[in-house]
Structure 1
Amino acid sequence: MDSTKRFRAFLLILILTLSYCTTSVSSNHHGENQDDGTSKLVGELIDWMLAKGGSMDPRVEMRRWNPQDPTSYFGAFVNAPVKKGELLLKIPGAIKIQVEDPSIQDDWDYDEQVCQLSWMLKTEYELGDDSDYAPYINYLKAQPFGQIPAMWSNVGQHLLFEVQGDWSIHDFETQGEGEDIVMWLWKSFEPNCMFRNDTLNPFYIAMAVQRGYDIALIPVYDMLNHYNGDKVNSITRPSIYDKDGFGVYALRDLKAGEELFYSYHACPDCRDTIDIWGTPEMLRDFGFVEQYPHRFHLKKNGTIFVDEVVADDGSKSYVATCRDGECPRKEWVTEEMEYLQNVERKQIAKSKSFIPKYEYETIKQYHKALTVALDAVLPLCT
């Protein structure tokens, strides 16, 4: 489809969904930023974890990034220096919602794991206060609906679809480029998972993906935020899937005020995700554009790594490398750069008033990440 036809199709979707968007923009918030009583729910969640045999070092605080700002995000922070190797959190096995370990069943794949976990989550939601996991369920109920792209508005999904283009390694044989980052949930879980004796609301699948670890939902631990590179400062032992639980330890010496981070795709239990997950997949599964370094696994053009370099004067530059020295073709990179420029000029710049704020800002961040990656890798291409 040429750019004119693509833009006309985009305008048609904008018109058809205008009534939806005008009622959704003002109510679409990033849930961890909402002043919705979450602080109280977090306190109850931690008390429940402690009562179940867990522990939390007194130097660890689960709080908002800015304690004076009730709209800033939640995370785990240390309020005093910590030495490398010290135990910070003990997560008891009793608080995890976890399906049977699929490692002994060769025919269990990722989709089946998520499906089973989603049905378990649905059961606990329906039990409400009678659930053995009630403090965690109450916390989850306060989280945002629609954070991952699969649950976005139609117009937000369409614009992301346009931006995504041909970037992801994952190919679900969809009809259009980039559709996997938007439509994968439906293609992976409907009808095999959503309609088993009953109807499973896609909300449960989305929540199991966004908050889960393949076969487990892990309260409190899932409040640690993601980072890559040298920002990662925590590590788990033994496996997070251990039936008796696990500990979270300082990976290095920590200074007072530091936030605890771990990598969602480069961790001891992440298996092969380091080779198939990158920045696009992080957006797909968690609904945000990760901080640098970035990684892009391309269908036909290898893998690009991009990192941010901050000079003493605060200026930033970006450095790219290619896996095994195999960089994309120069012709492909220049074509993609031109394509992204057209998308920014013809669609992103004209869409702000039609798309929920969080979706629009996330799409802009993702577009910039792709543009920076192409610009950084171009000098390496032939």
Structure 2
Amino acid sequence: MHARRFAASITLLLSNHRIHASNSEDADTLTSNLIQWVRGSGGFVSDKIAFRHINDDPTAPRGVFAVQDIDDGETLAIIPWDLIIKSPERAAGKVHDRWSHDDCGVIEETLKAMTASEDDITPYGKYLLSQPLNYTVGFWTEAGQDLFVRLTGGILYENNTLPPTDIDDQLIWEFEKVCDGDVTDPMNVQAAMLVRARSDYEYMVPIYDMFNHDNGKYNIQHKFNPYTSPLEETGYGVITTRKINAGEELYNSYNRCNICDGYFDWFGTPEVFQHYGFVENYPQRWLFDLARVKVELTAQDDGQVKVKFLVPPSKRGIDVLSKELLRLNDFANKYQHKSYAELGMRGLEWNSMWEYYDAIYAALTYITESTEPLVDDVWALGDDWWVQEGTTKEGEDDHTVRKTSGDEL
């Protein structure tokens, strides 16, 4: 029996923009001041949108909602160049071949924004300062990371069996090695984590980072491509992708946006959790290198979850994932009755880990119970077996395909 219950519809544990304020009024004030600051600095925030708790539940994360009907293609926000946090060299028009240089600058500028004096701190600096501490797995305590890696079937600092295959966050490594950053200082580490979790390209953009992620309900997009547009002239724009009715929530996509070409194919639910700190709602994409299984899960109107194999599954692969289900049961039986305190973890890490456990257990259950015909074709392919025609090619971006030769299984 499955040791923990999972639901067909998985809700967000931790929104990217849950405000770590002492009460709802504090959070409302932070948001209101941020909007007024953008408007007062020459920017635009539509009066047809409001920032509030989902379902008006004060314990729920916040979202951006339409308070009036909004036309297709209508502008929701324009953020002036001067309000965007970026590296000083990027601000001066210099472009580096290596991302690390701009990493250093944007982390340092984010740190400055959060640690400015009371007289100088901006509403965006206060907003960033209010975010939960170290909420992505690459920034958890060592005890929290160790248990999460055990969940995925690996050993800390070595490759895992299940995704995400590597929780080590290279951004904090770059911050220490390339930027000479002090990783013993909690505020420095928090700045690095916020850049990982909230930046778009190499920019920290107020307002833009307040839209929730949902690939099934994605209805906004960039007005200007930050990779190619002169943002110092245009500002950072957000528009709708269809007509929005009053009361609807406005959603972004963190991996399938209109400029997310490099992330579209392989960056799925495990990577969203690793980079942004939450389990996404359906649809979900899962890529299991060890079993050469790649699927998309979508919730149907009747509450059932549909499994779409993006690569034909094999008996060998399904057998591997069935064994992983048994191992996950053993993991839950061993740890679920313990407390996070006795394991040396934080409560945020404990809750987030079990949320991910439920998601991956559900995914493996749906996959292994599928009646899809099984063929062995995938094992005749190379290490780029997971690539779909016309999309990402092996070697681009950050995905590393684990070797899956017969000797390793």
- TM-score band by shorter chain is 0.7 to 0.9
Confirm whether residue 208 of structure 1 aligns to residue 187 of structure 2: no
> Which aligned pairs between 1:67-216 and structure 2 lie closer than 5 A?
67=56, 69-99=57-87, 100-101=89-90, 105=95, 107-109=97-99, 111-131=100-120, 134-165=122-153, 174-177=157-160, 181-185=166-170, 188-189=173-174, 191-193=176-178, 195=180, 201-216=188-203
Name the aligned partner's letter for residue 144 of structure 1. Answer: P
Q: Secondary structure at the match of 1:77?
A: strand
Cα 1:224–1:190, aligned 2, differ >3 Å: closer, same or farther?
Answer: closer
Write the letter of the residue equivalent to 1:175: E
Match of 2:327 among 327, 342, 345: 342
**Separation of aligned partners in 2, 1:61 and 1:359:** 30
Cα displacement (A) at 1:33:
6.1
The partner residue of 2:46 within 53, 57, 61 is 57
Cα 1:261–1:253, aligned 2, differ >3 Å: closer, same or farther? Answer: same
Which residue identity does 1:74 align to in structure 2?
Answer: R
Runs of 4+ deviating beyond 6 Å: 28-31, 197-200
C-alpha distance 145-47 of structure 1, shift in aligned 2 (>3 A):
same
TM-score by length of 1: 0.78
For residue 224 of structure 1, the aligned residue among 211, 218, 237 is 211
- How far, CA to CA, are the matches of 2:21 and 2:114 in structure 1? 22
1:273 and 2:269 equivalent? no
| Deviation at residue 143 of structure 1 after TM alignment | 0.8
Shift in Å at residue 78 of structure 1?
0.4
Q: CA deviation at 1:105?
A: 4.6
- How many angstroms does 1:188 deviate by? 3.6
- Indicate if the aligned counterparts of 2:195 and 2:204 stay in contact, CA closer than 8 A: yes
Moved more, 258-267 or 337-346: 337-346
Structure 2 residue 300 is matched with structure 1 residue 310: yes
Task: Give per-residue Cα distances to partners, 1:177-208, cap 9 Å, x unaligned.
Answer: 26854323477426413525997632211111
The question of 1:237 aligning with 2:223 is answered yes
Q: How many angstroms apart in 1 are the aligned matches of 2:79 and 2:28?
A: 20
SS at match of 1:216: coil
| Displacement after TM superposition at 1:236 (Å) | 1.7
1 CA distance for matches of 2:40 and 2:354? Answer: 43
8 Å CA contact 1:304, 1:373 repeated in 2: no
Distance 1:197 1:211, change over 3 A: closer
Mark the CA change 1:106 to 1:121 in structure 2 (over 3 Å): closer, same or farther.
Answer: closer
Which letter maps to 2:107? S
Partners of 1:307 and 1:138 in 2: CA distance? 38
Q: Deviations over 1:290-320 (max 9, x none)?
A: 1111123444655623222324xx4322222
Aligned equivalents of 1:208, 1:194: Cα separation in 2: 14
CA distance in 2, matches of 1:330, 1:115: 47
In structure 1, the partner of 2:378 is none
Deviations 1:138-168 (A, max 9, x none): 11111100211122233432232122348xx
Distance 2:175 2:82 in 1: 31
- 2: CA distance between counterparts of 1:286 and 1:214? 14
CA contact (8 A) 1:84 1:253 kept: yes
Considering fraction of residues, name the structure with more helix: 1
Q: Percent identity?
A: 24
1:262 equivalent in structure 2: 252
For 2:124 and 2:171, the matched residues in 1 are separated by 26
**Separation in structure 1 between the aligned mates of residue 158 and residue 299 of structure 2, nearest angstrom:** 38
Which residues of structure 2 form unaligned runs of 5+? 1-12, 341-345, 376-409
If the length of structure 2 is used for normalisation, what is the TM-score? 0.73
Contact residue 53 and residue 60 of structure 2 kept, 8 A = yes
Partner of 1:140: helix, strand, or coil? Answer: helix
- The amino acid of 1:342's aligned partner reads R
Q: Is the 8 A contact 1:307 1:318 kept in 2?
A: yes
Q: Deviations over 1:206-254 (max 9, x none)?
A: 111111113100011100011103x011122112462231322221111
Aligned residues: 340
Q: 1:309 to 1:70 in 2, by over 3 A?
A: closer
Which residue of structure 1 aligns with residue 18 of structure 2?
A: 32
> 3-state DSSP class of the match of 1:66?
helix
Q: Deviations over 1:9-53 (max 9, x none)?
A: xxxxxxxxxxxxxxxxxxx99881655211111111010000111
SS in 1 for 2:361: helix
Counterpart of 2:276?
286
Aligned to 2:34: 45
Correspondent of 1:354 among 327, 336, 339: 339
Picking from 353, 358, 361, the partner of 1:371 is 361
Runs of 5+ consecutive residues of structure 1 not aligned to the other structure: 1-27, 167-172
Distance between the aligned counterparts of 2:105 and 2:291, measured in 1? Answer: 35
- CA RMSD between the two structures: 3.2
